[in-house]
Amino acid sequence: MATLQTRATARIMMSPAVILLFLWMIVPLVMTLYFSFLRYNLLMPGTEEYVGFLNYQYFLTDPAFFTALGNTLLLVGGTLLITVIGGILLAIVLDQPFWGQGIVRLLVIAPFFVMPTVSALVWKNMLMHPVNGLFAWIARSFGFQPVDWFAQVPLFSIILIVAWQWLPFATLILLTALQSLDGEQIEAAEMDGAGPISRFIYLVLPHLARAITVVILIQTIFLLSVFAEILVTTNGGPGLQTTNIAYLIYSQALLQFDVGGASAGGIVAVILANIVAFFLIRLIGKNLER
Amino acid sequence: MARSVTTQRKLIFTIIGWSIGFLIFFPILWTFLTSFKTEGTAVATPPQFLFFDWTLENYHEVQSRSDYGKHVMNSIVISVGSTLLGLVLAIPAAWAMAFSPTKHTKDILMWMLSTKMMPSVGVLVPLYLIFRDWGLLDSRLGLVAVLTMINLPIIVWMLYTYFKEIPGEILEAARMDGASLMKEIIYVLTPMAIPGIASTMLLNIILAWNEAFWTLNLTAANAAPLTAFIASYSSPEGLFWAKLSAASTMAIAPILIMGWFSQKQLVRGLTFGAVK
């Protein structure tokens, strides 16, 4: 009797969170799906009509979509490359005993707490400005022509900014994983004459494999929807050079007021994110069983 | 002999570690330094690092922009409000899942996590229209609601992993002694759960403070928090580096300090317990 009662209480305790989250997920998604089959522009109210898959056809055959998809992949891939490799190296350094380790750790994780709009504007103006920026000054001091970051390599500039924001996350997670590595195992390998490189390849890297996977999957989910950094630095330009899927949908919805088209794009974005999410959920689910 | 080798090794890693730490932290340090410069010194070539006339004028000017206080208030109300609301919803749920698990508990947890995977742009259009029709655009209430829902899965998950660590025997002992469910929660579990709840709260305030998709898209002048206020410096006429730096320093300093305190919980919170 008591367990039945507890079970009922448990259900009541869970229901507000579950019901709200369910509504939060399903209502907008169904609306997006519904809008995606309509011709619906906020500037032309009253002209809504069912158009079947026309919005999808337009969205998926629009050259802007392929540019944006390419940019999204480059942005996610480039950032992952920098943060994972940089994160492994940093985690290894931070794992060594040295003076002031704790303070250095705080310095390294700091960028993660900086709001995206601040980091984007500080990097764009104070560091990457082609005339007065610090990078330009450094380049000139060494006799190089300063790079006009946002004109010459706009997407790479954004990748650098985003990578700076996410490097702490990768480092911190890989460091946590590294610290759980058995020290005796390393020592045994050392005694057997394994050099630092083979120790890294055969011991450290396999141990980190899981943490690396987690970093890649979680970051991918966040990086697929990078938005603020693009909005405050380039507005997707020059041309479409820094427009990713998230920004493309935003501009279709809130700048061109094309609700139908933006909704079709939104559904495409949901599907893309779900492919990544599928693997992440399975990975975490496995962990929950242990 | 061996002793000197380790000291040497330690010295080398001290140099490497501090150099890397300095490089990564540099943009923040540079922002901090620039915030004390005049606009002229801020753009000077060669850059002035420490030996310039330090001034507080920028802080003064940013704060005297009549709406600055409002943006700070908005940030506080939105981040703290959404976190508290999230906790109110999540504590009972995580509690039930941790202490009376059923065979569906795991599925519910995984499903909650999956809602977090939904890209915000996927629901931007309907949410924008709902907000417009309900008069929630540019209102704190609307943003609190959205950020609560966005962070709810993380809150539930973090609390769940903390509650899981509370030994079940204590509960049983209390039950044997005839404690009712309410008493059990108030006198036995709450004191043990408070550290976990506190770290969850801290991390979620940080996440909500820095959230920059919904805050940029659903606010204009009234409810705009600091993320949106700083974004207003992106317009070409607003490019005053010293003032941008002062505003940025004020916007990130409190959260940076909170972040440093929560660094241990960060990994757990952001990996949903997959890495501990």
A–B interface: beta-carbon pairs under 8 A: 309
Subunit contact B118:A17, Cβ cutoff 8 A = no
| Cβ separation B117–A101 shorter than 8 A | no
Pick B31 or B189 by higher pLDDT. Answer: B31
Whole-model pTM over 0.90: no
Per DSSP, the three-state class of B145 is helix
Note whether A115 contacts B227, CB cutoff 8 Å.
yes
Q: With a CB-CB cutoff of 8 Å, which residues 85-124 of chain A face chain B?
A: 90, 93-94, 96-101, 103-119, 121-123
Mean pLDDT of chain A: 86
- Do residues B211 and B147 touch, judged by C-beta distance below 8 A? yes
Q: What percent of chain A has pLDDT over 70?
A: 97
- More confidently predicted of B246 and B234: B246
Q: What is the number of other CB atoms lying within 10 angstroms of the CB of residue A38?
A: 19
pLDDT at A206 over 90: no
Q: Domain segments of chain B: what residues? A: 2-59, 66-270
Query: Average pLDDT of chain B?
Result: 84
pLDDT at position B144 is 94
pLDDT over threshold 70, residue B128: yes
Taking the C-alpha atoms of residue B96 and residue B91, their distance in angstroms, rounded to an integer, is 9
Point out the least confidently predicted range of A228-232, B4-8, B119-123: B4-8
Highest mean pLDDT among A80-84, A141-145, B151-155, B215-219: A80-84
Q: Grade residue B1 by pLDDT with cuts at 50, 70 and 90.
A: very low
Q: Identify the bridge partners of residue A41 per DSSP, sorted by sequence position.
A: A258
Contact call for A132 and B43, based on CB within 8 A: yes
Please, which pLDDT band fits residue A74 given cuts at 50, 70 and 90? very high
Is the separation of the CB atoms in A24 and B127 below 8 Å? no
Tell me the mean pLDDT in the region A9-16: 85
- B contacts of A105 (beta carbons < 8 Å): 21, 263
User: In CATH, what class is B66-270?
Assistant: mainly alpha
Residue B84: predicted pLDDT:
95
More confident residue, B262 or B235: B262
Cα of B178 to nearest chain A Cα, Å: 12
Whether the per-residue pLDDT at A230 is higher than 90: the answer is yes
Instruction: Give residue B5's pLDDT band: very low, low, confident or very high (50, 70, 90).
Output: low
ipTM value, please give it. 0.86
Q: Does A37 touch chain B (CB under 8 A)?
A: no
Look at the domain A62-257 and name its fold: MetI-like fold (1.10.3720)
Q: Give the mutation candidate from B85, B95, B124 for the A interface (greatest A CB count, under 10 A).
A: B124
How many angstroms away from the CA of B121 is the closest CA of chain A?
A: 6
Q: Do B231 and A228 touch (CB under 8 A)?
A: yes
A contacts of B213 (beta carbons < 8 Å): 225, 227-228
B48-60 mean pLDDT = 83
Residue of chain B whose Cα is closest to the Cα of A42:
B129
- Comparison of pLDDT for A174 and B176, the residue scoring more: A174
Q: What does the pLDDT average to over A122-151?
A: 87
Does A277 touch chain B if contact means CB atoms closer than 8 Å? yes
Nearest to A106 among B117, B248, B260 (CB): B260
pLDDT for the residue numbered A205: 86
Least Cα distance to B151 among B224, B226, B209 occurs for: B209
The domain locations on chain A are 62-257
pLDDT of residue B3 exceeding 60, the answer is: no
Chain B residues in contact with A90 (beta carbon < 8 A): 20
Q: Which of A169, A177, A267 sits opposite B270 (nearest CB)?
A: A169
Measured between beta carbons, the chain B residues lying within 8 angstroms of A245 are: 121
Q: Which of B79, B144, B275 to mutate to test the interface with A (most CBs of A within 10 A)?
A: B275
∠ CA B250-B251-B255, nearest 5°, is 105
**pLDDT digits over B174-233, tens only?**
777 777 777 777 787 778 888 888 888 988 898 899 888 888 888 887 888 888 888 888
As a whole number, mean pLDDT of residues B1-16 equals: 77
Averaged over B131-153, what is the pLDDT?
90
| A15-67: pLDDT as tens digits | 898 999 999 888 888 988 888 888 888 777 777 788 888 888 888 888 888 89
For B228, the token pair is 């949106």
- Are residues B21 and A125, on separate chains, in Cβ contact within 8 Å? no
Residue pLDDT, tens place only, A100-135: 888 999 999 999 999 999 999 999 888 888 888 889
Of A19, A22, A118, A160, which to mutate for an interface test with B (greatest number of B Cβ within 10 Å)?
A: A118
Cβ within 8 Å, pair B89-A137? no
Q: How confident is the model at residue A286 (pLDDT cuts 50, 70, 90)?
A: confident
DSSP conformation letters of chain A = -HHHHHHHHHHHHHHHHHHHHHHHHHHHHHHHHHHTTEE-BTTSTT--EE-TTHHHHHHHH-HHHHHHHHHHHHHHHHHHHHHHHHHHHHHHHHHS--TTHHHHHHHHHGGGGS-HHHHHHIIIIIIT-TTTSHHHHHHHHTTPPPP-HHHHSHHHHHHHHHHHHHHHHHHHHHHHHHHTS-HHHHHHHHHTT--HHHHIIIIIHHHHHHHHHHHHHHHHHHHTT--HHHHHHTTT-STTTT--HHHHHHIIIIIS-BHHHHHHHHHHHHHHHHHHHHHHHHHHHHHHH-
Dist CA A242 CA B115 (whole Å): 27
Q: Give the one of B18, B122, B227 whose C-beta lies nearest to A267's C-beta.
A: B122
Q: Determine the pLDDT at residue A85.
A: 95
Searching chain B, which residue's CA lies closest to the CA of residue A138?
A: B46
Q: Who wins on pLDDT, A5 or A220? A: A220
Q: Residue B213 is nearest to which of A177, A228, A272, comparing CB atoms?
A: A228
pLDDT given at position B219? 85
User: What's the gap in Å between the CA of B16 and the closest CA on chain A?
Assistant: 8
Instruction: Compute the nearest-CA separation of B196 from chain A (Å).
Output: 19
| Average pLDDT of the segment spanning B83-95 | 92
